Amino acid sequence: MPVIIEIPTAFRRFTKGAPKVDCSAATVAEALNELTARFPDLSRHVRDDQGQIRQFLNVYLNEEDIRFLGGESCCLKEGDRVLLVPSIAGGSE
């Protein structure tokens, strides 16, 4: 399914400056895998050592956090947007 992945500024040095990446995937997981296959340096920033999406990275399908959609196995349809947004936490707190 052709979908668009929106890349935050901080990640763009791994995507050759591209703010958006087109890909074809049936699920969010596939979309992320396609993204990191294409830009391997991004991989460790998207998933942790256990292969889970990193704790301080939020992933949205259109307007919704994917955790409310069953996680990264949620299905994509043509024209969907996948957003990567670093979580803004306060530190040491």
Partner 1 sequence: MSLHYELRCRECGKTWGNAPRSFCEDCFSPLEVAYDYVSLKKIVRRENLAARYFNMWRYSELLPLPDDFVARSAVGGTPLVASRKLAAKWGLKNLYFKNDAVCFPSLSFKDRVVATALAAARRFNFTTVGCSSTGNLANAVAAQAAQQGFDACVFIPADLEPAKVLNTAVYGARIVRINGNYDHVNRLCAQIADRFQWGLVNVNLRPYYSEGSKTHGYEIAEQLGWALPDNVVVPMAGGSLITKIAKAFRELVMLGWVEAKPVKFFGAQATGCSPISDGVKRNLQRFEPQKPNTIARSLAIGNPADGPYAIKLIRESGGWAEDVSDPQIVDAIKLLAETEGIFTETAGGVTAGVTQKLVGQNRIKPEETTVVCITGNGLKTTDAIAAEFPATEAIAPRLDAFEAYLDAQLGTTAASARA
- Min. distance of Cβ 21 from partner 1 in angstroms? 16
> CB-wise, 31 or 53, nearer to partner 1?
53
First to last CA, the chain: 42
Shortest approach of partner 1 to residue 86 CB, angstroms?
5
Nearest to 3 by CA among 67, 83, 63, 69: 83
> Distances from the Cα of 38 to the Cαs of 41, 71, 90, in angstroms?
9, 22, 32
Q: Which residue has the tokens 């699920």?
A: 27
Residue ranges that bind partner 1, judged by CB under 8 A: 8-10, 45, 54-58, 60, 63, 65, 67-68, 83, 85-93
When the beta carbons of 1 and 86 are compared against partner 1, the nearer one is: 86
Nearer to partner 1, 40 or 87 (CB): 87
